Every structure is written in C-alpha cells, then in structure tokens.
Amino acid sequence: MIQLLFLVLFAEGVVALLLMVKIGPLRELAMRAVDQVKTGKGPATVKTLACTLSVILMSSVTSILKIQNRGLKLGTVSPMDQVLWRTHLLEASLIGFTLFLAFVIDRLHHYLRKLITLRKTGSTSREEVEKLQMENRSLREKEEKTSSEIKKLQQENAKLNEKMKKLKSETEEHERKASTAEAHVNALQKQSEELLLEYDRLLEDNQILQAQLLSRG
C-alpha cells in the first residue's frame, strides 16, 4: 500500500510540475491526460478513489490516536505499537499529500484551461478589433472618395448652372430680338398695306385722268 502511494504521489508530482512549468509539449500532454481523466467515467472513478483514500486516512488517524492513548494509559509504548504508529503516520501522510496534490492538479488544470480560453477569446477579440479597424479605414476611404465625388458633382452642377444662366440670357436676348423683329415686320406689313391702298388710289386717279383725256380728245 505504501509503495503504491509513493508511486501515485510521484506521478501526481510530475503532473503538477508539468502543469506549473512549461517544458516543450509536455504541458499539453499533461493537460490532455487530465482532460481524459475528467471525461466519461473518469470523474466518478476519481471521486470513488478519493472517498476510499479519505476513509483509509481517517482509519489511519484513528489508529494513531488509539496507539497514543494506549501508550498514555500504560505509560510506555511497545515496539509493535511504535512500528504500527510509524506505519499509520507514514500512510496518513502519503494519503494526505496524495489528496492535496490531486486537488492542486485539479485547480491548476482548471485555471490553465480558463487561461487558454481567455487567450483564445483575447486573440479572437483582437482579430475582431483589427477587422473593425480595417472596416473603419475602408469606410473612411469610401467617405473621402464620396466626398471628392460630391465636390466634383457640385463643381459640375455650378458649371451647368452657369451654362443655364448663359443660355437663359441668350434665350431672352433672342426672344427680345424676335419681338423687335416681329414688331418691325408688323410695321412693314402695315406700311405695305398703306402703300397698296395708296397704289390703288393712284391707279384709280390715273384711270380717271385717262378717261378725262379721252373724253376731251
């Protein structure tokens, strides 16, 4: 029993050391080993072993106390009791250290797994931050490009407004000239009508004069 406890204690010490100190890939192997122990039927088996060792520890402590009480009553301790007392003390010490190291390994594994998760989360968050920064930079570039395009459109709009004003003024000038020309045409038409009337009157006078001349001749 004591040799088995020494072997278990040594194995736990090695696992605890590998979990505390990173030695190449050995920590990862130790983490995988503890993961396997904590999966499937492992937890139930570990709890059963822990309960068994606790019962043995309590039994050893009880035996130590009985031997001490018997020695106090008799005033001396026999060689057999001394051997039993030392054996139970060694056994209780080994079981206590075994349970303590098992608890330490469990806590180390828990916090290391938590640390790995936090690092992965931090790495993911860092990647998301970098992605957001890239998107922000892209949005800024698009915004600058859009702003330059808006300025260009505004300039083109200003040029078009100037052309429209110029065309409007030219149109008004053409309309004014057209109105003047129309008035002039109307005046010419009126003058032409008057001339036609005057021509008709002159023709009529001419015919009258010719008639008078014929009548006299």
Sequence-ordered list of residues with C-beta below 8 angstroms from that of 61, at least 6 positions apart, any chain: 88, 92
Domain that holds residue 10: 1-146
Count of structural domains, the chain: 1
Task: Out of 8-17, 35-44, 184-193, pick the least confident.
Answer: 35-44
Q: Which two tokens stand for residue 80?
A: 């057999």
Question: Is 67 domain-assigned?
Answer: yes
Question: Is 20 domain-assigned?
Answer: yes
What pLDDT is attached to residue 217? Answer: 59
Q: Which two tokens stand for residue 13?
A: 């010490």
State the Cα angle at 199 between 198 and 200, rounded to 5°: 90
CB 18 within 8 A of CB 26: yes
Question: Is 176 domain-assigned?
Answer: no
Q: Which two tokens stand for residue 91?
A: 């056994």
Question: Is 105 domain-assigned?
Answer: yes
Question: Is 132 domain-assigned?
Answer: yes
Q: Which of 56, 45, 68, 47 is nearest to 2 (CA)?
A: 56
* 81-121 pLDDT tens trace: 788 888 888 888 888 888 999 889 888 888 888 888 888 88
Intra-chain end-to-end CA distance of the chain, in Å:
181
The one-letter amino acid at 15: V
Sequence-ordered list of residues with C-beta below 8 angstroms from that of 29, at least 6 positions apart, any chain: 18
Q: What percent of the chain has pLDDT over 90?
A: 5
Q: Which of 201, 202, 174, 196 is nearest to 188 (CA)?
A: 196
Question: Is 199 domain-assigned?
Answer: no
Question: Is 44 domain-assigned?
Answer: yes
Give the whole-angstrom CA distance, residue 99 versus residue 210: 159
Give the whole-angstrom CA distance, residue 81 versus residue 64: 9
* 162-203 pLDDT tens trace: 999 999 988 888 888 888 888 888 888 888 888 888 888 888
Is the Cα dihedral 178, 182, 188, 191 positive or negative? negative
Q: Which two tokens stand for residue 112?
A: 């290391």
CB 90 within 8 A of CB 2: yes
What pLDDT is attached to residue 140? Answer: 87
Question: Is 179 domain-assigned?
Answer: no
Among 22-31, 170-179, 205-214, the range of highest mean pLDDT: 170-179
